[in-house]
Chains A and B, each alone.
Chain A
Amino acid sequence: MGLVAALLSLLALPGLAEELPTAAVPARTADRLGIREGDVVEVAADPGMRTARRVRVGVVWSPKEHPADVARQELRLVLRLPFLETLTGRADTVDRVVVRLREGAQARRVREDLEAWSVGFDAYTAEELAAHTSRAFVVVSRFHKAIALVTLLAGGIFLVAVTGLRTSEMRREIGALRLVGIGRGTLFLAVVGIATGVALFGTLLGIGVGAVLVAAINAYYQPLFQTSLVFAVLEPQTVGAAAAFSVLLGVLSGVAVATRLLRQPPLEQVGR
């Protein structure tokens, strides 16, 4: 099993005053390896464990998770920097350096100064790094929106077909009502109202199904990835957009059907 990523930390960890070097272990890694606080494990930088060193698990904790890490399922250990340098044989070499600025300092300007050194490293402000690491989610969100557009179109056609057919079935009733003197305007509004009602009812059902699916998605993926991150959320703006779209389609299909129905002679509609 490869300990692919080991994070470096200079923070004081509980339980470091043991005779063995200590490691902090994220709960997910501890679960996968079946280890607990106080256990002694061997770590090495080579797959044959030839350079293995013993470390004691100082603490098992649940770090704040980043969605990008969840799918990778990497195992992580946090070790003291000098110990890791010795273990890997990479003295005075780091993957990254974090810089804490003085109060009032401008991060962007410091970054520009660091880049001006041109010694072969890239510098990022915290905001830039956050934007960089969340880029995958921005792309996935764009993809979801594109798919949602196609789904909405298919759903829209479904809605128009159903409301259209449902109101067309009222042909005889409309003819009879016109013969007994009910005005065209009243009937027009009634047909549009029914189509809108069907659309609204469908929307409510859809929101219900959506809520069940959201719960099912989270119930499936959270244990699968051993995370408390939420995978699907039913947001008010999503509900609002879906409702507005379906009501609009309902009204439009109602108008189309009502116009067509009221254009036919009433006697023809009642089959005479």
Chain B
Amino acid sequence: MVAFLALRSLRRSPTRTLLLLAGITLSGSLLFDMTMLGSGLVESFGGVLGRLGYEIRVVPRGTLPLSSALLVPNASGIVGEIAAHPDVAWASPMIATQLYAEAGGRRLSVVAYGIPSRLPGLVRTEADVRDGAVLNALLARELQVRPGERIRLGTRLSPQTLAPEAAVEVRVAGLGEFPFDLRGQRTLAVPLSVLEELLGTRDRASFLVVKIREGADPEAVREWVNHTFPELEALSIPALLQAVRGQLRYFDHFSVILSGVSLVVATLLVGTVLTLQIGERLGELAVLRALGLQRTRLVLLVLLEGFALAAASCPLALGIGLGLSEPLDAILRALPGVPQDLRFFVPSPQAALRTVVLLLGAGTLGAAYPAWVAGSLHLASTLHREVQG
């Protein structure tokens, strides 16, 4: 009965109801986008980290992987100790550095990874890194090289001769995609031993990577590494996400503020329009009361109208939000320093559910004041006023 009356009331003025639905839908789509933004980048980053094939990276204390030129000394000794831990499947050093790559008279600065052979997740390629260098597409294009050809890798340039002080020639094993490539970044991966020899940094590493045995707790290993090697810091995926979350505070706050604004707009919209509508329907509500409709059911009727408006907006709000998230993501991914594989807006069932719950709450909350007005209606005086006109 109450549901029937609520729907009938909303159908009575279609233009007004459509306008209300449009407003709530737009607010809801913004809310969905902001919910995706709030968790998207961290989720996306976590997804990429999870596919790399190891759970813990060990860095010089106070730094993050690839963020500093500091090296881990005595890398092989530390790797040996970590690998001996019963929960560790394997551990390995990794080197990331800037080099020069030369081919056909062209010399370009590149980001070079020296990676252990058992770490396939760091580069998506059909080639085998053990066979030589895996180049990203941009580097291969700019150097104009193809798989099977040879390139020269060099370290710092001599101020006198302008030639690299140390160089090594490697075969291009194939092309690959690197999950943390920045826009316009030229990247290659070579076997760790090649880079160690070229740089003369045997026994030093940019960071160490640790694979945990199945069923073991990465957090326990992380704590053990932090306790055993006080000058180093072990970062599990959650710990790394926590560290990165601090640097992404702007997007967290932005999404919270915009979510709040869209909820306030939706609540005010429902509240204002239903309040004005109640003013026009006082006579009708008084008649319903006179016919025996309980006060609580009258309140429920108005609350249900707010809830129904929000519920009807939900599918369209989610659809528009999803559609809007693509161009918004494209805008933000143009930020410098953002790896190409990362996404700012990641749709998820949790984000959709949160949006629906918040929107339904906003619709019902918006109807609270008009419901109170309807509930506190004085029957006799209202009917008298309506009859008087």
In the complex the two chains form, is B336's CB within 8 Å of A153's CB?
no
B interface majority secondary structure: helix
Question: Of the candidates A45, A119, A150, A164, which one forms a contact with B26 in the assembled complex, judged by CB atoms under 8 Å apart?
Answer: A150
User: In the complex the two chains form, what is the Cα distance from A135 to B332 in whole Å?
Assistant: 11
Chain B: which residue is nearest A153 at the CB level? Answer: B26
Q: What's the Cα separation between A46 and B261 when bound, in Å?
A: 47
* Interface assignment of A161: CB less than 8 Å from any CB of chain B: yes
Measured CB to CB, the closest approach of chain B to A119, in angstroms, equals 5
B→A interface (CB under 8 Å): 16, 19-20, 22-23, 26-27, 29-30, 33, 60-63, 67-68, 70-73, 100, 107-109, 156-157, 159, 162, 231-232, 246-247, 249-250, 258, 261-262, 265, 268-269, 272-273, 276-277, 279-280, 324, 327-328, 331-332, 334-337, 389
Q: How far is the CA of A244 from the CA of B23 in the complex (A)?
A: 20
Contact B258 A147 (CB under 8 A): yes
- Residues in A whose Cβ lies below 8 Å from that of B279: 169
Interface string of A144-159 (1 = CB under 8 A from B): 0011001101110110
**Given the complex of chains A and B, what is the CA–CA distance between A47 and B280 in angstroms?**
73
Instruction: Report A179-231 residues with CB < 8 Å from chain B CB.
Output: none
Kindly list 5 other residue pairs between chains A and B, CB separation below 8 angstroms, not including A120-B100, A151-B30, A161-B269.
Answer: A49-B231, A139-B334, A150-B33, A151-B261, A271-B389
Min Cβ gap B216→A in Å is 26
Known: A157-B23, A169-B280. Contact between A119 and B162, CB under 8 A? Answer: yes
Known contacts A120-B109, A161-B20; decide if A146 and B159 are in contact (CB<8 Å): no
The verdict on A118 contacting chain B, using a C-beta distance below 8 Å, is yes
A93 proximal to B (CB < 8 A): yes
Contact B23–A158 (Cβ < 8 Å): yes
Cβ-defined contact, B336 with A135, below 8 A: yes
Is the CB of A10 closer than 8 A to any CB of chain B? no
A147 — which chain B residues lie within 8 A by C-beta? 30, 258, 328
Do A142 and B29 contact each other (CB < 8 Å), given the known contacts A158-B269, A161-B20?
A: no
Contact with B along A45-89 (1 / 0, CB 8 A): 111111000000000000000000001110000000000000000
Bound-state Cα–Cα, A119 to B261, Å: 53
Given contacts A1-B62, A139-B334, A154-B27, contact A118 B107 (CB under 8 A): yes
Q: Contact between A46 and B29 (Cβ–Cβ < 8 Å)?
A: no
Pick from A1, A117, A136, A150: contact of B336, CB under 8 Å: A136
Complex alpha-carbon distance, A2 and B30, angstroms = 39
- A48 in contact with B336 (CB, 8 Å): no
Closest chain B residue to A72, Cβ basis: B247
Contact B107 A46 (CB under 8 A): no
A161 and B19 contact, CB distance less than 8 A: yes
With a cutoff of 8 Å between Cβ atoms, the chain A residues found around residue B107 in the complex are: 118-120
The interface size bin for chain A is 35 or more
Return the chain B residue nearest A95 by Cβ.
Answer: B69
Task: Given A139-B331, A150-B324, check contact A92 B70 (CB 8 Å).
Answer: no
How many Å from the CB of B377 to the closest CB on chain A? 18
What CA separation (Å) do A132 and B337 show in the bound complex?
Answer: 12
B128 to chain A, nearest CB (A): 29
Chain A residues near B71: list those with CB within 8 A: 46
> Which residues from chain B contact A157 at a C-beta distance below 8 Å?
19, 22-23, 26, 269
Q: Provide the bound-state CA to CA distance between A150 and B328, in Å.
A: 11
Q: For A151, what are the chain B residues with a Cβ–Cβ distance below 8 Å?
A: 30, 258, 261-262, 265
A1-20 vs B, CB cutoff 8 Å, 1 = contact: the mask equals 11110000000000000000
A272: nearest residue on chain B (CB-CB)? B389
Please name the residue on chain B nearest to A161 by beta carbon.
B19
Interchain CA distance A249-B177 in the complex, whole Å: 50
- Neighbouring A residues of B273 by C-beta, 8 Å: 161-162, 165
- Asked if A143 is at the interface of the complex by the 8 Å CB criterion, the answer is yes
B339 CB to nearest chain A CB (Å): 15
Which of B68, B276, B327 meets A169, CB within 8 Å? B276
